[in-house]
Amino acid sequence: MPEGLAELHVHIEGTLEPELIFILAERNGIALPYRDLDDLRSRYAFDDLQSFLDLYYANMAVLRTAEDFADLARAYFARAARAGVTRAEFFFDPQAHTARGVAVHEVVAGLSDAVAGARREFGIDAAMIASIVRDRPVPEAHEVFGELLRLGAPIIGLGLDSAEVGYPPSLFEDVFARARAEGLHVTAHAGEEGPPEYVWQALDLLGAERIDHGIRSLEDPALVARLVDERIPLTVCPFSNVRLRAVDSLAEHPLRRMLAEGLAVSVHSDDPAYFGGYVDDNLVGLTDALGLTEAEREVLRRNSWDAAFL
Ligand code: ADE
Ligand code: ZN
């Protein structure tokens, strides 16, 4: 097994730190609706997934050019290297950018530039996963996926994210079939706020090789048995679950129960700029709150490598 950690559940747009928001706004001549950094930071208190997504998408207004995306990803890699990350499979949301007039090629050019430099500059083997924004129209998902293929975007997989409840995986069966036919890996957010049924659909209809979050799978014993039997990885993000109120507190996080059930769980950061920390912070937080042992942390690390698309 390689050294370090494999970070498998991080949205690159969710690594956009407040300081960089102000720097990019200045560079691009964008007037922010915040007085200053403190005013922006005061808005990082969320009631649920949607209240977070509203701010997450609004802040992306500062990302305009390939250079902006490259700077965003480079800043993330610098921080991830300090967290001990040596493999980073990160999501990006093409539709969040095309919907506001930024071309896919700007996004892909900037991110792939940073990916190319990640090994040399930070010792990180990085890879991109395009994610379908599930609360946008289904035909748009097909258009954007087609555009990624036309550009020859160096993606390793297709994901599914954004507002979960009311947007079941079944809507996206066809676009994921296309992705699989292209030889891409498939992963999907499911069972974060949505029901266990969405996890079943991600597996059976999308062909998901891993499930992002999946914490609500615990409500369905037959689903747990399936996930254990097939060793389907679940990429769990504890700080995110607490900040988006899927879980009441870190001390009540079901991670230990998931490990005890034999689920292939690993720990990740989701949107670290918004949820109070990167993958190392999540592991320290869990260690303090749940009393995770060194041996349990090693299991989580090993699971992260088993789940990587390598
Ligand atoms: N996009 C960014 N973070 C997300 C999350 N936690 N759930 C769904 N979509 C997201
Ligand atoms: Zn996520």
Report the nearest atom of ligand 1 relative to the CA of 244.
Answer: 6
Whole-model pTM?
0.98
| 244 phi and psi angles, rounded to 5 deg | -100, 10
Mean pLDDT throughout 141-152? 98
7 three-class SS: strand
Q: According to the model, what pLDDT value does residue 22 have? A: 98
Band (pLDDT 50/70/90 cuts) for residue 132 is very high
Share of the chain above pLDDT 70, in %: 100
Q: Whose CA is nearest to atom 10 of ligand 1?
A: 162
What CATH number should be reported for the domain holding residue 15? 3.20.20.140
pLDDT in tens, 159-171: 999 999 999 999 9
How much is the mean pLDDT over the chain?
A: 98
pLDDT in tens, 166-209: 999 999 999 999 999 999 999 999 999 999 999 999 999 999 99
Band (pLDDT 50/70/90 cuts) for residue 31 is very high
Q: Measure 161 CA to ligand 1 centroid, in angstroms.
A: 6
Report the nearest atom of ligand 1 relative to the CA of 240.
Answer: 6
Ligand 1, residues 164, 192, 236: which to mutate, most atoms within 8 A of Cβ?
Answer: 192
Is residue 89 part of the annotated active site? The answer reads: no
pLDDT in tens, 76-111: 999 999 999 999 999 999 999 999 999 999 999 999
Q: According to the model, what pLDDT value does residue 162 have? A: 98
Within its chain, how far is the Cα of 133 from the centroid? 12
User: Number of folded domains in the chain?
Assistant: 1
Band (pLDDT 50/70/90 cuts) for residue 25 is very high
| 16 phi and psi angles, rounded to 5 deg | -75, 100
Ligand 1, residues 7, 136, 164, 189: which to mutate, most atoms within 8 A of Cβ?
Answer: 189
DSSP state, 165? T
Q: Which of 106, 192, 193, 209 is catalytic?
A: 192
Looking at this protein, which amino acid is placed at residue 82? R
Give the DSSP per-residue string, 77-97.
HHHHHHTTEEEEEEEE-HHHH
Band (pLDDT 50/70/90 cuts) for residue 140 is very high
Host domain of residue 106: 5-307
